[in-house]
Structure 1
Amino acid sequence: PVTDVMILSNLPEAVEFNSTVVLTCSAKGSFTYKWMNGSVPLAVDGPRMNISQVGNVLNIAEVRRTDLRGPIFCIAENALESGRSAAFNLTVSCTYLITPTQA
């Protein structure tokens, strides 16, 4: 059976453009993994966002608020069945540096 499918994050909250986020899909058993952004497969862009060869680790360098727009799910599956994690939402904070101007 597919049990205990969950997403683990290295950060509880990220800072836009400064944080690298590592999400790990964890499940009991031997599986293949899929990452979903809402109801569609997660699109990865290569150098900044990639999925490990095994498929259970998602790395996002210089995370942006627009990277993960919907809830993220991971799916662990074998030939007989599959299981889906609970929804995962990453909070990405944006910090802008505002410099005063002289009139």
Structure 2
Amino acid sequence: MSKTVVKVSQERMYDIIKAPVITEKATMGSEFNQVTFRVPLDASKPEIKAAVEGVFGVEVKAVNTLIQKGKVKRFRGLVGKRSDVKKAVITLAAGHTIDVTTGV
């Protein structure tokens, strides 16, 4: 595998990392040195890696992404659809941590 180095502007870094995902499943990943973030649908893995390393100053070992399709919901009989959401599960190198309970 080739190592892809991506240049990402400081502004784009903060656009890529929308918010941490704080669910029971996402917090269980902390045992394995993992943190989960919401990211834009058009963000690539190298961009996400560069953004996390730039904003938090940590070393990223791996980036796994998933797209959660929006559910169809009804409100007062009208059909609506939630937006699709892309999540990135970031695995950090040993010795690095991110505290998602504090602000950036």
- Compute the TM-score of the two structures, normalised by the length of structure 2: 0.34
Greater RCO, 1 or 2 (C-alpha within 8 Å, sep 6+): 1
Bigger helix share:
2
- Compute the TM-score of the two structures, normalised by the length of structure 1: 0.34
The structure number with the bigger radius of gyration is 1
Bigger strand share:
1
